[in-house]
Amino acid sequence: MSNNDILLKVDNLHAGIDGKEILRGIDLTIRPGEVHAIMGPNGSGKSTLSGVLAGNPRYTLLGGSATFHGLDLLSLTPEDRSHEGLFLSFQYPVEIPGVSMVNFMRAAVNAKRKYFGEAPMSAADFLKLMRQKRAVVDLDNKLANRSVNEGFSGGEKKRNEIFQMAVLEPRLSILDETDSGLDIDALRVVAEGVNKLKTPENSTIVITHYQRLLDYIKPDFVHILYKGRIVYSGGPELALELEEKGYDWIKEQVDSKEGL
């Protein structure tokens, strides 16, 4: 297998927060076009994994590596990871009072262009791009003039995340609990947005606690994260099995093994 076929390779990744180890050796390989679901009970390390991959400084790297289309991902700044095509849809999108969505996105788009040696986008082109991408998730025009995520409803925030994903055209999107706090209609809109953006080249990691999002975004692989390790990997049927049987059987298996 050639490395060129691999978009992301995570190797024995260890990381923690406030002196406590959360990820205790994650291995994960993602190829272009694949959709991976990472499931797991609360506290298993799902959000830590997404945070570490995106470079959130809150987390401390304790070992291992991650290679993103040939680059040493973990050595890059968060913004360079973004430029290189990694996108994190936040579980809790951050409110930034005083910074309008338009300015925010313009700064993001032009920073990426600068990174690749391109000139800033003209105002007209930028507005056109915004209009175009808003359509993907049916985002209200008036939100564009509001401050980033400020006063947005839960559904609007998540749609706003997918809208940004549409604008930035990432090679790998990590959707961190994108379904949390969404009613079924909002969930569908968001999932449709993600599906519209799907190409044979780009890949997606869907992090979720529940099966329901996976009804809309079909995974090729399902991994179960527990106590900071991927303890089980399988096909889409694994998610259904979890839905039916819950996480307890996994916990029992792992805990009994650890007990030995």
Partner 1 sequence: MNALTQYLDLYRSHRDMICAGSPEALNRHRDAALHMLTHIGRLPHFGDEGFVKVSLNDMFAPDYGLNLTRRRFDADAEGAFGCETPVAAGPSALVVNDAFVPGPRMAAALPEGVEVMSLAEAARLYPDDVAREIAPADNPVAALNTLFVQDGVFIRVRAGVKFDRPIQVLAIFNTSEPLMAVRRVKIFVEEGAAARVLLCDHPRVNDVDYLNCRVVEASLSRGSRLEIFDLEEATPRTSRASVTASEQAEGSTLELTNLYLHGGITRNEFIPHHLGEHCTTTVNGLVIGSGKQVIDNAVRLVHTQPRCASHQLFKYALFDSAQGSFQGTVTIRPDAPFTEAHQTDRNLLASPEARMYAMPRLIINCDEVKASHGAATGQLDSNALFYMQSRGIPEAEARMMLINAFMTDVLAKISYTPLHDRLTHLVEKRLHGCETTCAGCSLD
Residue ranges in contact with partner 1 by CB under 8 A: 54-58, 77-79, 81-83, 87-88, 90, 93-99, 103-105, 107-109, 111-112, 115, 147-148, 164, 168
- Choose between 88 and 139: whose C-beta lies nearer to partner 1: 88
Our CB check for partner 1 shows the closer of 95 and 125 to be 95
CA dihedral for 183, 184, 189, 193, sign (positive or negative): positive
Least distance between partner 1 and beta carbon 84 (Å): 9
Q: How far is the CB of 68 from partner 1 (least distance, A)?
A: 14
In angstroms, give the least distance from the CB of 56 to partner 1.
5
User: What sign does the CA torsion over 40, 13, 36, 194 have?
Assistant: positive
Closest to partner 1 by CB, 207 or 242 = 207
Instruction: Output the CA–CA distances (angstroms, integers) from residue 148 to 97, 115, 143, 194, 197, in the order listed.
Output: 7, 23, 9, 21, 22
In the complex with partner 1, which residue's Cβ is closer, 96 or 184? 96
What is the nearest approach in angstroms of partner 1 to the Cβ of residue 22? 17
Nearest-approach distance from CB 4 to partner 1, in angstroms: 24
Closer CB to partner 1, 44 or 160, in the complex? 160
Question: Closer CB to partner 1, residue 56 or residue 65?
Answer: 56
Quickly list DSSP for 4-46.
GG-SEEEEEEEEEETTEEEEEEEEEEE-TT-EEEEE--TTSSH
Q: How far is the CB of 96 from partner 1 (least distance, A)?
A: 5
